[in-house]
Amino acid sequence: MDYIQLADIFSFAPISAVEVGKHLYWTIGSYKLHGQVFIVSWLVIVVLMVVASIGTRKLDKVPQKWQNFMEFILEFLQDIAKNQIGEHEYRSWVPYIATIFLFILGSNWAGALIPWKLIHLPEGELAAPTNDINTTVALSLLTSIAYFYAGLTKNGLGYFMRYIEPTPVLLPINILEDFTKPLSLSFRLFGNILADELVVSVFTLLVPILVPLPVMILGLFASSIQALIFSTLSAAYIGEAMEGHGDH
C-alpha cells in the first residue's frame, strides 16, 4: 500500500485526523498567541469556577452532596502537599498545588471527553491545552519559580549552599538539575497527552465504534495520573527547596 492510498483512506475520516504543530494564531502587536489553547483553557477555568461556586455556595456543618465532594477533593489535595512539603509548611502551598492539579486534570479530561474535532477552525484544531508544549512548559516554569521562591523565603541566601553539597565538585550537576526538572515535567506531560490523543484518533479511524471506548476510558485514567504526577512532583520540589540547607 503506497502513500497515496493511505492518504485517500485518511481523507474519509476527517474527525479522526490529528494536526500536530498547526495552530490558530491570534496576533496581538508583534506577538502570536495560540488561540485554540486560550479558548479551551478559558472553558476549563470557567467550569472549575462554576463547580467550586456550586460546591461552596451553601456550607453546612454536616456536608452533603456537592459540599461533601468538594471537601473530599480538598482533603486529597492537602494530603499531596502535606506528604511532600511537610506538616508544618504545607498549608501556604495548598492553593498552588491544588490549582496545578485541577487545571491539568480539567485540561486533560477536556481533551479526552469532548469531541473538539467536530468544531472546525480556520487553522489548527481545538484540543487539550496540555497537548501544546507551550502550556506544559509554562506550568513547569511556574513550578520552578515556586520552588526557588520557597527555598529563598525559608533559607535566604543559604539556599544556594545546596549547589555545593555534599561537595563543591557537584556544582555543575546540581545547577543542571534545576534545568532538567522543568524540562522533564513539561515533556512528560506533553508527550503523554499528545500520545493519548494520537492513539484514540488512530483507533477511531480503524474501528470507529467499539474499540475507541475502552481506549478513551484508559485515556481518562492516564490523564488523571499525569495530573497527579505533575502536582506531586511540584510539591516534592518545593519541599526539597525548603529543607534546611543553610543550617549545615
Digit-coded pLDDT (tens) for 161-195 = 777 777 777 788 878 888 888 888 888 888 888 87
Examine the pLDDT at 26 and tell me if it is beyond 70. Answer: yes
Digit-coded pLDDT (tens) for 36-77 = 888 889 999 999 999 888 877 877 777 777 888 888 898 999
pLDDT of residue 210: 61
Whole-number Cα distances in Å, 56 to 46, 92, 203: 15, 20, 40
Grid cell at residue 95: 492553593
The model's confidence at residue 2, banded by pLDDT at 50, 70 and 90, is very low
Digit-coded pLDDT (tens) for 153-165 = 888 887 777 777 7
Examine the pLDDT at 10 and tell me if it is beyond 70. Answer: no
Beta pairing partners, 33: 26
| Residue written as grid cell 483512506 | 9
Digit-coded pLDDT (tens) for 202-234 = 766 666 666 567 767 777 888 899 999 999 999
CA atoms within 13 A on the CB side of 215: 18
Grid cell at residue 90: 504545607
Domain boundaries, the chain: 3-247
Digit-coded pLDDT (tens) for 79-116 = 999 998 888 888 889 999 999 999 999 999 888 777 76
Q: Closest Cα partner for 148 from 109, 177, 187?
A: 177
How far is it, in rounded angstroms, from Cα 194 to Cα 184? 15
The model's confidence at residue 126, banded by pLDDT at 50, 70 and 90, is confident
pLDDT of residue 244: 61
- The CA-based angle 175-180-185, given to 5 degrees, is 140
Q: Closest Cα partner for 178 from 156, 158, 162?
A: 162
pTM above 0.85, yes or no: no
How far is it, in rounded angstroms, from Cα 144 to Cα 149? 9
pLDDT of residue 207: 64
The DSSP secondary structure of 75-97, one letter per residue, reads: HHHHHHHHHHH-TTT-GGGHHHH
Mean pLDDT over each residue of the chain, to the nearest integer: 79
- What average pLDDT does range 229-243 have in this prediction? 89
Residue 198 CA, chain-centre distance (Å), reads 18
Q: Closest Cα partner for 16 from 157, 208, 153, 150?
A: 208
